[in-house]
Amino acid sequence: MVSARRSFQGELPVVAMKRLGEALASTEGTAQYELDFGRDEFGTSYLDVRVQAPLTVTCQRTLEPFVLPVTVNNRLGLIRSEREEAALPPNVEPLLVADDSKLSLLDVIEDELLLAMPLVPVNPDSTLPEEVVGPSPEEISSEGRSDNPFAVLRELKKT
Q: Does 32 have pLDDT greater than 60?
A: yes
Query: Mind listing the pLDDT tens digit for each residue in 107-118?
Result: 999 999 999 999
pTM (predicted TM-score): 0.76
Q: Report whether pLDDT(155) > 80.
A: no
Task: Classify residue 14 by its DSSP letter.
Answer: G
Question: What φ, ψ does residue 114 adopt, rounded to 5°?
Answer: -60, -40
Amino acid at 142: S
- Is a pLDDT exceeding 60 seen at residue 145? no
The 10s digit of each residue's pLDDT in 49-92 is 999 999 999 999 889 999 999 999 999 999 988 898 988 988 89
**Is the pLDDT higher at 153 or at 49?**
49
Cα–Cα distance for residue pair 21/24, rounded to 1 Å: 5
Report CA torsion sign: 69, 109, 74, 59: positive
Nearest to 31 by CA among 8, 54, 9: 54
DSSP 21-82: HHTSSB--SEEEEEEEEEE-TT--EEEEEEEEEEEEEE-TTT--EEEEEEEEEEEEEEESSG
Euclidean distance between CA atoms 83 and 38, whole angstroms? 21
**pLDDT confidence of residue 99:** 81
How far is the C-alpha of 84 from the C-alpha of 46, rounded, in Å? Answer: 13
